[in-house]
Amino acid sequence: MEEFIKAKKIILGQKFEQYRNLLGYTKAEFATLIALSPSTINNIEKGNGFNSNSLLLYSYYLGLNASEILDINVKLPEPKQFKADFDKKAEEINPIDFKKVRDARKTLKNIIEQLASDKLYFKSGKIVDVVRKDLKSEFDKDYESSVISQALINAVEEKFLSRKKVKENNKDYVYYNNNK
């Protein structure tokens, strides 16, 4: 029975992670927006379980009832409207932290766009850790790697950059200018 419960917790954790990823937030950003700690988000997504308060916070902010969240067969919502609804609710309930998250992303987005417009910066490709060090030394910005990674992924989606896996078994990507 323990193995069954553990397996279901892992599946539910993956579903919680899918919801967060659909919104495009890092664990730290999402935790800030729904008033949980990053470690709580991490534990939930790893399948370590959650309490009823966490479930109710997810339910409220995601605009889904608890049974939908717990049903592993329910399909994910349409991303654009889901994010718009979530952001509206997060901004209404937690305007100060929402503004901080939004402003930090906007600033980073602007820096990434600026670097992408400089044809030389991404010409030879950059991994997240190199971009992070450069942001710290050149712009005096100290972002978490996960935040930079999400900003780079967003730049790929917006066609500012392209990316390739470093190695087949590696999770690292190299980011390039779209017009190499």
**Nearest to residue 100, comparing CAs of 168, 151, 41, 33?**
33
Together in a domain, 13 and 88 = yes
- Please indicate whether residue 44 or residue 167 has the higher confidence score (pLDDT): 44
Number of domains in the chain: 2
Nearest-angstrom CA–CA distance, 152 and 161: 8
Together in a domain, 138 and 109 = yes
What are the Cα distances from residue 83, in Å, to 9, 79, 122, 167, 175? 25, 6, 30, 32, 26
pLDDT at 106: 77
End-of-domain residue from the set 37, 63, 93: 93
Q: Give Cα 150 distance to the centre of its chain.
A: 6
Residue 61 maps to which CATH number?
Answer: 1.10.260.40
163 - beta bridge partners? 175
Q: Beta strands of the chain (E only): which ranges?
A: 161-165, 173-177
pLDDT at 36: 93
Residue 148 maps to which CATH number?
Answer: 1.10.10.10
pLDDT at 180: 47
Together in a domain, 8 and 65 = yes
Domain with 43, as residue range(s), is 2-93
Together in a domain, 53 and 81 = yes
- Per-residue pLDDT, averaged over 131-151, amounts to 88
Q: What percent of the chain is modeled with pLDDT above 70?
A: 97
- Per-residue pLDDT, averaged over 124-128, amounts to 89
Together in a domain, 13 and 84 = yes
Together in a domain, 76 and 51 = yes
